[in-house]
Amino acid sequence: MDKNETYQLLAKQVESLIEGEHNPTGQLANAVALIHETMAFWWTGFYMVDGDALQLGVFQGPVACYTIKRGKGVCGTAWQENRTIVVPDVEQFPGHIACSSESRSEIVVPLHGSQGNVIAVLDIDSKEVATFDDIDARWLEEIARIITRHALPHL
């Protein structure tokens, strides 16, 4: 399977795994586990918007920073600018927050509430440079919409 086909199947699997459940923490945790295992990423998780900062949510991978201010790091910048950010080389991203010294590339995808506001970000790290491209961005945005629809419909 090429990357598009892998993501297409993953998106369907995420939806069937979380639809019909009413346990947002469990749904987010299972979605993260499935994405992480399927794609063999280094770190996969959510940071949740809470006031003027992001707070660490459910994740798979090494331990991570608890709090990221709006506009800080890749996650806080994706939130502030309300857009997906692909970082081919974290050493070239000014202000990158190194939770793990082994991370080399990263993608951050915002999740949107009913008003179009950012309610969380999906953050994924890789141990290799240039892991993420437009295909990852497009499919992870689709998966983020599926997760929002089924796990966070009231935010």
Note whether 103 binds ligand SME by CB under 6 A: yes
CB of 72 to ligand SME, least distance (A): 7
* All residues at 6 or more sequence positions from 92 whose CB lies less than 8 Å from its CB, including other chains: none
Note whether 106 binds ligand SME by CB under 6 A: yes
- Chain residue at closest Cβ approach to ligand SME: 73
- As a whole number of angstroms, the distance between CA 77 and CA 8 comes to 28
Q: Which stretch binds ligand SME (CB under 6 A): 8-16, 29-37, 97-105, 134-142?
A: 97-105
45-84 footprint of ligand SME as x/- string (CB under 6 A):
-------------------xx--x----xxx---------
- The nearer residue to ligand SME, 17 or 56, going by C-beta atoms, is 56
Note whether 136 binds ligand SME by CB under 6 A: no
* Sign of the alpha-carbon torsion through 1, 44, 102, 95: positive
- As a whole number of angstroms, the distance between CA 24 and CA 9 comes to 22
Instruction: Classify 18 in phi/psi space as left (phi over 0), alpha (psi -120 to 50) or beta.
Output: alpha
The label of the residue with tokens 């295992």 reads 37
The label of the residue with tokens 């081919």 reads 88
CB of 96 to ligand SME, least distance (A): 5
